[in-house]
Amino acid sequence: MTSEQLDQALLDLALIEEACKKSGLIWVRGAGAPAARALWHVWHEGAVCLVGDGPGEQPLPGLTDGGSAEVTVRGKDKGGRLVTWQATVSELRPESPEWESAVTELKGKRLNAPDSEDMPARWARSCRVLRLVPTGSVAPLPSDSLAERPLPSPATTRRPIPAGLPKLLAKRRKK
């Protein structure tokens, strides 16, 4: 590897790390998954750490131990794509030192958990904790948007706006 290639590889890793640290969501497409899925994560010890596939946690389709994944990170300020990179997926064994370290970081970032004190025990029983380690350089940005329809979810339901909302908004405009 030439010094220019080494410099580029280090710059790519720095970009991946900084983008992942600043973004709360990443888009991950596991091998064989139909579409990328938005997942919350933490950057810990040179990799993205995820928890899911358990009751009340995010699904992790197509992410298998030893498999690969494509990760896209968006910018925090405008929400546009910053970087896309390939990763190797590894599943952390519950109660191992690596698992404990990753879960400590994940627990601090998990919002709205119904059982914040018992979370690590629940994750050990019924969830998977994964590490996505960058494998190389970043992919070039695409020339088109790559926009897709959102995946179906029971969490996205439309309801009529409350009857009093137009009056409340009109009062704010007058002030």
Beta-carbon contacts of 99 under 8 Å, excluding residues fewer than 6 positions away, are 92, 93, 124, 129
Beta-carbon contacts of 1 under 8 Å, excluding residues fewer than 6 positions away, are 9
The two three-digit tokens of residue 135, written as one number: 């494998």
> Judging by beta carbons within 10 Å of its beta carbon (0-12, 13-18, 19+), is residue 117 exposed, middle or buried?
exposed
Can you give the pTM of this predicted structure?
0.80
Instruction: Please tell me the CATH superfamily of domain 3-174, with its number.
Output: Electron Transport, Fmn-binding Protein; Chain A (2.30.110.10)
Q: Across residues 84-98, what is the average pLDDT?
A: 95
Beta-carbon contacts of 130 under 8 Å, excluding residues fewer than 6 positions away, are 49, 50, 51, 52, 60, 63, 65, 89, 90, 91, 92
The two three-digit tokens of residue 175, written as one number: 């002030």
| Mean of pLDDT over the chain | 88
* pLDDT for position 92: 97
* pLDDT for position 42: 96
Rounded CA-CA distance 161/122 in Å is 37
Please state the length of the chain: 175
**pLDDT by residue (tens digit) across 111-168?**
887 787 899 999 999 999 999 999 977 888 878 877 778 777 777 667 777 888 888 8
* pLDDT for position 148: 77
**pLDDT by residue (tens digit) across 36-74?**
999 999 999 999 999 999 888 999 989 999 999 999 998
Q: What is the 3-state secondary structure (H, E, C) of 97-128?
A: HHHHHHHHHHHHHCCCCCCCCCHHHHHHHHCE
